Amino acid sequence: MNLLKESLELAIHFYIQEIKTGKRQILAEEQLKEFAELMASQGDAILFKEKPGKNRLGTAKMFNVFAESIANLAFYPGGVEIFGLKFEEEEKE
């Protein structure tokens, strides 16, 4: 779990920087809902190495969906906490 936590922390900070510098836009609420649905249906791919397949994103893509979602939630009031890590950024205008 430590490797997942450390990898996730690094990826989240990467996505936050991308948002701050304008390389990425903050995802719309609808996109975040879609990501949440993906996590609910395919999130196990993060824990069990999977290759992309029919209707499955695979481990790497699901990890990035998860990290990007958390990074976006960091810009919402109050931020987000996961695995004992707190991510909170000022709302981007």
- Unique residue bearing structure tokens 């481990």: 59
Q: How far apart are CA 23 and CA 8, in angstroms?
A: 20
Q: What is the model's pLDDT at position 19?
A: 95
Q: What is the model's pLDDT at position 69?
A: 95
Given a cut of 70, the residues of the chain with pLDDT beneath it are 1, 91-93
Q: What is the model's pLDDT at position 92?
A: 58
Q: What is the model's pLDDT at position 59?
A: 87
How many beta carbons lie within 10 A of that of residue 53, not counting itself? 9
At 90, is the secondary structure helix, strand, or coil? Answer: coil
What pTM was computed for the model? 0.84
Q: What is the model's pLDDT at position 93?
A: 57
> pLDDT tens, 43-57?
888 888 777 777 777
